[in-house]
Structure formats: C-alpha cells, structure tokens
Amino acid sequence: MRVTPTILLASAVLLGCDDTPSPLGLDAAASSAAGPATAAANGGAHWTVPASLFGFEIGNKLQFNARKGADGQVSGTINYHQEFLGNAIHLVADVTCMAVYDGGTRVKYGGPVRVSNDPDIVPGEVFIWFQGIDNGQGASSPPDQSTIAGAGDDAANEAFCASSAEPRFAFDVKGNIDVSG
C-alpha cells in the first residue's frame, strides 16, 4: 500500500486520540472570546512518534492557543506540521471547541481547518483536534504530553471536546503546554 499524507493522518487518529468514533496536524495567534476567560491553554511543542507504531517515524510540530470566555465563546488557533517519509502536511485551524479536564491539567481543543497544503484535507470541511497534558513546570516535572491529530466533521469535533475520555496514546513533548481553568 502506498502511504499518502491523508492516509497517514487518518491512520494516526486511530492511535492518537480517544474513543471518539469519527476519525481523520501548526504558529498560533488567538482571537479573543468575549468576557474574562474561564479556561485557557496554549503551547509550543514538538515530538516524534516512534517507528514502532507505523513502521517509520512521524515528526510533529504544534503551536496552539485556546480560550473559553465566561459567555462560553471559544477562540484560538492551531498550527500543526507533520513530516514522514519525505512528506510534509501543514494545517492551520481555528479553535471552536475547548474543554479542560483533570483539575485543569488536560485540555481538549479543535476546530475547522482553515489552511491545508494537502488537497484531500479541504478547508472548512475537515476539523482537527488534539489533547494536551500539562505536567507542571520546572526541571523536576515530567514532560508535557500531546496526542497526534484526530480529524472528522463538526459533530465529531464537538463530541470530542465534550467527552472526558483520556487519550489512548499521549507522547512526551519537547516544549511546553500550559492549561488553566
């Protein structure tokens, strides 16, 4: 089977997210939600998915910010870059769902792809989502973690954020993920 960027991203969903049934990776600048924030998260991270999962390494770079206002309005941006077998996928998405779990240490966020260099990932039709885990600050804290991208439609995106399910796979990152709320 020939591995195409879209096939790999779709396969990655099966390993990277949670039990959300619908399947299908970013410099961030957030727009502001109205009112004071009740939850916020941001990060800049990179990590490698080991070859043992797919038979080859997958490099990931992620920058994001997400904010939920007191009025429930969500805003933010996801900037995701994935490299494997000489292919590079770059996606930019707007954050339209966000939820914080586990006492403010784990965030789920996602939204519609606005920019894609893959012709099979159509902006406005495909939504991507991630989970981030903030394991604290300082040299004695374990690394923060992220999932690889999940993808699907608007309903799957909203269901993902609304589900408290933990990720099946979370990868240690180099960088930082901050979660509050």
Tokens of 21: 């049934």
Give pairs for 93-97: CB < 8 Å, separation 24+.
93/26, 93/127, 93/128, 95/30, 95/64, 95/65, 95/66, 95/67, 96/127, 96/157, 97/129, 97/157, 97/158, 97/160, 97/161, 97/162
Residue 37: pLDDT band with limits 50, 70, 90: confident
> For the chain, what are the domain ranges?
5-180
Rounded mean pLDDT, 60-78: 97
Q: Which of 150, 86, 88 is nearest to 118 (CA)?
A: 88
Determine the pLDDT at residue 36. Answer: 78
Look at residue 70 and give its three-state secondary structure: coil
Percent of the chain clearing pLDDT 70 (strictly above): 81
Which comes out higher in pLDDT, residue 25 or 35? Answer: 35
Record the pTM: 0.83
pLDDT digits (tens, 9 = 90+) for 94-153: 999 999 999 999 999 999 999 999 999 999 999 999 999 999 998 899 999 999 999 999
Instruction: Give the span between the Cα atoms of 36 and 20, in whole angstroms.
Output: 30
* β-strand pairing of 174-180 with 37-49: antiparallel
